[in-house]
Amino acid sequence: MAHTSQTPTKTSYDIVIIGGAIMGASTAWFLSQDADFDGRVLVVEKDVSYANCSTMHTNGCMRQQFSTELNVRISQFAADFVKNLPDYMGDPRVPQLSIRSFGYMYLADNEAFADILRANQLVQRAAGAATQLMSAEEIQRHYPFYNVDDILLGSINLVDEGLWDATAVFEAWRRSARENGVEFVENEVVAITKNVAGSRVESVTLKSGEVIACGQVLNASGPRAARTARMAGIDIPVEPRKRYSWVFKAERPLDRDLPLTIDPSGIHVRENGGGTYHCGGHTEPDPAVDYDDFTMDYSLWESHVWPILATRIPQFEAIKVTHEWAGHYAMNTFDHNAIMGPHHEVENFFFLNGFSGHGLQQSPAMGRGTAELLVHGAYRSLDLSPFNYDRIVAGRPIIENAVI
């Protein structure tokens, strides 16, 4: 659907954020809360229906089960933020939220992956997460609906791990940021102009023709991150990868909550409430796709996904798909982790990109950290500098092996 472009009220802003979905909104809100900052912030979002952004295609879950301590800490902040939303936002209109903590159940069918789960559990527990390892017999006892014939080990955490209402948080951030003076416009950044030396961005050009001067610019463009960076002559290893989702109704629902189960095949499925379940998967190979390609692969369910589900959970022999859609991960092909901080040469160009399949839960910590960096020049709460763009230049990946 075509939308009418909105014109910003000014021709110059201290900070221009390109992309107004969950990452752009989080950063805008944290900026609007900083008592040391009274600068002008513009958020440019090309489609305020948000129909195709990652944020609206998500599975909506958070987990503590990561393989790096920093990612665990980031999710811990997310859990605290979500559970105490009215306090954090200082706004009684904001709903009290909870996390439906059915846990993520990682299943290992080989020793190599079982070893990874064991190593991850040590990292997670040291950081304060409640991850438990389970033998096949224990899994069977607690979750009798699984077929565990091929399973060696499971890993699950039932504290602050499961489903949460990200849409409520997203809406609260946008409303509050706007009320605090952040300007949101529906428009598209189509060009970025640097100074002669190439060391600073001077302005962004909008699709409607206006040239907007900016002190700092933040790339929060999701799967389009590389396209936005290229406007400033910058490369970033992020590409759109298709992720398919199916919601189905079971003829005989399970008698207890289904954890977000990560089958060894890569297919994942979780409780969705009311006798329905939410499943996700992708094709193999898994190529980059066009930014606007959201076509569904209808054969994938019948030929690949359903047989795997019905083998893992025989009760899912009799199910009916009620909704299905394709969305995009902003896949960081370098190391699957966030890409943040300033560019090493274009000093006022900042990244908030590459969140692959875990950006929703990272949005509170990453928005907070990015706001700190933009205003104070350094992270103040959680040190997120390991995620800085310069690791890519240096060829120094942070391997996160708990990727979905």
Ligand X SMILES: Cc1cc2nc3c(=O)[nH]c(=O)nc-3n(C[C@H](O)[C@H](O)[C@H](O)COP(=O)(O)OP(=O)(O)OC[C@H]3O[C@@H](n4cnc5c(N)ncnc54)[C@H](O)[C@@H]3O)c2cc1C
Local structure of 9: helix, strand or coil? coil
Does residue number 222 form part of the binding site for ligand X (CB under 6 A)? yes
What's the one-letter identity of residue 283?
A: T
**How far lies 106's CA from each of 60, 155, 317, in Å?**
17, 5, 22
Q: Write the DSSP symbol of residue 294.
A: -
Site string for ligand X, 170-199 (x = CB under 6 A): ------------------xx----------
Which of these segments, 171-179, 195-203, 353-361, 367-375, binds ligand X (CB under 6 A)? 353-361
**How far lies 133's CA from each of 65, 136, 160, 403, in Å?**
12, 10, 17, 18
Exposed/middle/buried for residue 149 (C-beta within 10 Å: 0-12, 13-18, 19+): exposed
Exposed/middle/buried for residue 92 (C-beta within 10 Å: 0-12, 13-18, 19+): exposed
Site string for ligand X, 272-311 (x = CB under 6 A): --------x-------------------------------
Among 15, 17, 61, 365, indicate the residue that binds ligand X (CB under 6 A): 61
Nearest to residue 299, comparing CAs of 273, 274, 277, 281? Answer: 281
Is residue 44 within 8 Å of 13, Cβ to Cβ?
no
Q: Which is nearer to ligand X, 212 or 319 (CB)?
A: 212
Among 15, 32, 45, 134, indicate the residue that binds ligand X (CB under 6 A): 45
Which of these segments, 59-67, 133-141, 250-258, 308-316, binds ligand X (CB under 6 A)? 59-67
Total residues in contact with ligand X, by rule CB under 6 A: 41
Q: How far is the CB of 330 from ligand X (least distance, A)?
A: 6
Does residue number 357 form part of the binding site for ligand X (CB under 6 A)? yes
Q: How far is the CB of 152 from ligand X (least distance, A)?
A: 25
CA-based torsion, 263, 283, 56, 317: positive or negative: negative
Q: Write the DSSP symbol of residue 84.
A: T
Which of these segments, 42-50, 65-73, 372-380, 388-396, binds ligand X (CB under 6 A)? 42-50
Site string for ligand X, 225-244 (x = CB under 6 A): ---x--------------x-
Does residue number 332 form part of the binding site for ligand X (CB under 6 A)? no
CA-based torsion, 352, 291, 238, 166: positive or negative: positive
Does residue number 343 form part of the binding site for ligand X (CB under 6 A)? no
Does residue number 361 form part of the binding site for ligand X (CB under 6 A)? yes
Q: Which is nearer to ligand X, 154 or 222 (CB)?
A: 222
Does residue number 336 form part of the binding site for ligand X (CB under 6 A)? no
Q: Please name the residues in contact with 115: beta carbons below 8 A apart, sequence gap of 6 or more.
A: none
Q: How many helices (H) and strands (E) does the chain have?
A: 11, 18
Does residue number 337 form part of the binding site for ligand X (CB under 6 A)? no
Does residue number 101 form part of the binding site for ligand X (CB under 6 A)? no
Among 21, 123, 148, 182, indicate the residue that binds ligand X (CB under 6 A): 21
Does residue number 65 form part of the binding site for ligand X (CB under 6 A)? no
Exposed/middle/buried for residue 141 (C-beta within 10 Å: 0-12, 13-18, 19+): exposed
Is residue 282 within 8 Å of 403, Cβ to Cβ?
no
Q: How far is the CB of 143 from ligand X (least distance, A)?
A: 20
Q: How far is the CB of 194 from ligand X (least distance, A)?
A: 16
Nearest to residue 162, comparing CAs of 261, 71, 84? Answer: 261
Q: Which residues bind ligand X (CB under 6 A)?
A: 18-19, 21-24, 44-47, 50, 53-55, 57-62, 188-189, 220-224, 228, 243, 245, 280, 327-330, 355, 357-361
